[in-house]
Amino acid sequence: MNKKVKSIAYGGVLGALIVLFLFFSMWLPTADFALFSLTSLTLAVAVIELGSRTGWILYVTAGLLGIAWPGLAFVWPYLLFFGPYPLLRAIIDRRCRPVAARIIRISIGVLLASLSVILFRIKAVLTLFDQFAVWSWMMIPVGTVVVITIYDLALGMLINLYMNRIKIN
């Protein structure tokens, strides 16, 4: 089979999976974090199999399709955090040593999460600040770092699982 045809077909399947996960996140709100994480894993697989450039193209294409079908209200976490994170992670992992890469990845994750909150959920966060007063000013940033660190570790484990057990050379 022609390598270009295989690449296009593989990209199409991965794009369809991303849009499917975005659609299911609309109908399964209790599983949305897991489904958005699967979109990240799908983009990571695209980068592994097809390269970074194709991963970015797939991210933009799936994002536009997600805006058209489930709608912006359901895909904004993918557009602002779960989509760019694995793509930026691939760039960082190639250029930095492991400890520095982890620090940079978590910093970028906090930056992307903060951008998401500022653009879409600022009223909810301000309500939490009013409700819990002083504690929330300290706990929300710390909690954000903890959650992003756990997400980064889980994504790394899933990527390693794919690389070691699933990927066919």
> What pLDDT, on the 0 to 100 scale, is given for residue 134?
67
Residue 136 is predicted with a pLDDT of: 67
pTM here is: 0.89
Q: What is the pLDDT of residue 1?
A: 66
H helix runs in 96-133, sequence order: 98-120, 122-132
Report the pLDDT value the prediction gives residue 169, as an integer from 0 to 100.
64
pLDDT at 36: 95
The class level of CATH for 3-166 reads mainly alpha
Domain locations along the chain: 3-166
Give the pLDDT of residue 94.
Answer: 94
CA 2 to chain centroid, in Å, comes to: 30
Provide the CB-side half-sphere exposure for 94 (13 A, CA). 10
DSSP for 69-90?
A: TT-HHHHHHIIIIITHHHHHHH
Written as tens digits, the pLDDT of the chain (169 aa) is: 688 888 899 999 999 999 999 999 989 988 989 999 999 999 999 999 999 999 999 999 999 999 998 888 889 999 999 999 999 999 999 999 999 999 999 999 999 998 988 887 777 767 766 776 666 677 878 889 999 999 999 999 999 999 998 876 6
Indicate the angle between helix axes 84-95 and 52-68, nearest 10 degrees.
170
